[in-house]
């Protein structure tokens, strides 16, 4: 069961592509867009993350930190970030395998991967937007932008 708007966002501390640990708790006071995706280098995921890269100022200009999470190891994420020029951290939920995706209710245990879950966590750590897409179902990112805009209006 995935999380819903109003739920407390589960805390996590995960290594990024450079093995630097990123903790949600350390970002308290800042809204965070948490984007789970199945696999680095896969077609739909690359399309989604490249769109996020190309439209990153929509989020950063609103003061939102973007974090992308998959169950890939850090070495794959480093190569992926370098190849695609991503300017946001790619976090590895590799071990314990998928533990953060499980906490957010977006882990596909049979496939050993995260589903396409997107969560906007407000500055206080509460889920302000939640969406989970089925495998193979690319996300429409306009909902994320609307949620960011509403977060700004509420501030």
The predicted-structure confidence for 10-61, as pLDDT tens digits, reads as follows 999 999 999 999 999 999 999 999 999 999 999 899 999 999 999 999 999 9
Report the CATH architecture of 39-154: 3-Layer(aba) Sandwich (3.40)
The predicted-structure confidence for 86-142, as pLDDT tens digits, reads as follows 999 999 999 999 999 999 999 999 999 999 999 999 999 999 999 999 778 888 899
> What's the Cα-to-Cα distance from 94 to each of 14, 51, 153, rounded to whole Å?
9, 24, 36
> What's the Cα-to-Cα distance from 110 to each of 31, 107, 113, 119, 132, rounded to whole Å?
32, 9, 8, 23, 17
Active-site annotation holds for 50: no
Tell me if 122 sits within 8 A of 151, measured CB to CB: yes
Buried b (16+ CB within 10 A) or exposed e, 81-112: beeeebebbbbbbbeeebebbeebbbbeeeee
The predicted structure's pLDDT at residue 151: 83
Looking at 24, 33, 45, 115, which residue is catalytic?
Answer: 45
Radius of gyration of the chain (CA): 14
80 CB neighbour count, 10 Å cutoff: 21
pTM above 0.85, yes or no: yes
Q: Where are the domains of the chain?
A: 39-154
């Amino acid at each position: 069961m995935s999380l819903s708007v109003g739920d407390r966002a589960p805390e996590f501390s995960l290594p990024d592509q450079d093995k630097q640990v990123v903790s949600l708790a350390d970002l308290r006071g800042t809204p965070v867009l948490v984007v789970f995706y199945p696999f680095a280098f896969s077609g739909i995921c690359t399309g989604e993350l490249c769109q996020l890269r190309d439209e990153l100022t929509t989020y950063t200009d609103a003061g939102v930190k973007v974090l992308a999470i998959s169950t890939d190891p850090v070495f794959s994420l480093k190569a992926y970030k370098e190849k695609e020029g991503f300017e946001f951290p790619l976090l590895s939920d590799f071990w314990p395998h998928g533990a953060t995706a499980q906490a957010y209710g977006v882990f596909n245990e049979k496939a050993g991967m995260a589903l396409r879950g997107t969560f906007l966590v407000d500055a206080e750590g509460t889920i302000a937007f939640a969406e989970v897409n089925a495998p193979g179902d690319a996300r429409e990112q306009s909902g994320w932008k609307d949620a960011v805009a509403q977060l700004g209006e509420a501030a």
